[in-house]
Amino acid sequence: MNTADFDYVRNFIRDQSAIVLEPGKEYLVESRLQTLARKENLSSIDVLVSKLRSDSSNGLHRKVVDAMTTNETSFFRDIHPFEALRKFLLPELAARRAQQRQLNFWCGAASTGQEPFSVLMLIAEHFPDLLAWDIKFIATDLCGEALARARCGRFNQLEVNRGLPASLLVKYFVRQGADWEFREDLRQRVDFRELNLIKDWLCLPSPDIVFLRNVLIYFDVETKKSILAKIRRLLRPGGYLLLGGAETTFNVDDAFERAVFEKSTFYRLKQA
């Protein structure tokens, strides 16, 4: 891939998604676009990029953004935040909202659905009474292709092997050929929507917990600030934000403070 094509693609990706691709990441762009070029029956990346440059109405731009998003995820990823949810956060929030019997969750980078489904399994296992509450579970992602898969709730054996205990697999999934399908009654509790974090967040209910793990790492400081400011305005009073292990609000948005629960760190707004 020549420098001009790489610059064109990385600038375009930055404009569309705020994902920063530093020089040196040519290998990543090439490997992702090579696969897309094959899918689109294009002979090379050069041809793909020239098609991108010449016509913005062919849907290819959207596919390039999808191809460049990293959809790495797993069930009960990093396990400790789920332990914290079970032991501390869900009991606390359930007590606080007992009168309204209403809780809102938002997964801001839901990818193919493993994170929201893990939270739902945790609730079904340990707080089954909450399933009778008015729970709004919004799961958003930039990648339409990943969301389409999430809505189906269908996972291959490699995916269910990632973090999902066998006992939960047999309880919450139904075998469909070589794949496994997440139970429909739970799957339908999640509202999957496309959402670009750098654009307007329309019609999102104020969440009690925001899951936004391993997303901010792809953005520059200004974009991180803007996203955290929007979360600050959206978060329900007493609500929590969960970031990835390598992410922090420290020196980015000091309105947040750390809330440590054993081995995991959540963030909440400082008391005025």
Find the part of the chain contacting other proteins (CB under 8 A) among 31-39, 40-48, 130-138, 226-234.
Answer: 31-39
Q: According to CB under 8 A, which one of 1, 92, 94, 163 is a site residue for other proteins?
A: 163
Q: Looking at 161, 175, 194, 254, which residue binds other proteins (CB under 8 A)?
A: 161
Smaller CB distance to other proteins: residue 64 or 210?
Answer: 64
Residue 44 found at the interface with other proteins (CB under 8 A): no
Cα–chain center distance at 115: 8
One residue of 7, 15, 46, 72 binding other proteins per CB under 8 A: 72
Among 95, 132, 178, 272, binds other proteins (CB under 8 A): 178
* Contact residue for other proteins among 2, 44, 56, 156 (CB under 8 A): 156
Residue with tokens 């990648």: 143
Is 34 an interacting residue with respect to other proteins (CB under 8 A)?
yes
Locus of tokens 């899951």:
211
DSSP string over 192-250:
EEE--TTS--TTPPPPSEEEETT-GGGS-HHHHHHHHHHHHHHSPTT-EEEE-TT---T
Residues in the chain: 272
Q: Is 86 in the site for other proteins (CB under 8 A)?
A: no
Q: How far is the CB of 23 from other proteins (least distance, A)?
A: 10
- Residue 162 binding other proteins, by CB under 8 A: yes
- For residues 80 and 189, which CB has a smaller minimum distance to other proteins in the complex? 80
- By the 10 Å C-beta count (0-12 exposed, 13-18 middle, 19+ buried), 86 is classed as middle
Whose CA is closest to 203, among 135, 106, 128, 117? 106
Return the residue of 4, 28, 47, 170 that touches other proteins, per CB under 8 A: 28
Q: What is the DSSP letter of 131?
A: G
Gyration radius (Cα) of the chain, Å: 20
Which region among 32-40, 118-126, 130-138, 219-227 touches other proteins (by CB under 8 A)? 32-40
CA torsion 208-209-215-220 (nearest 10°) is: 50
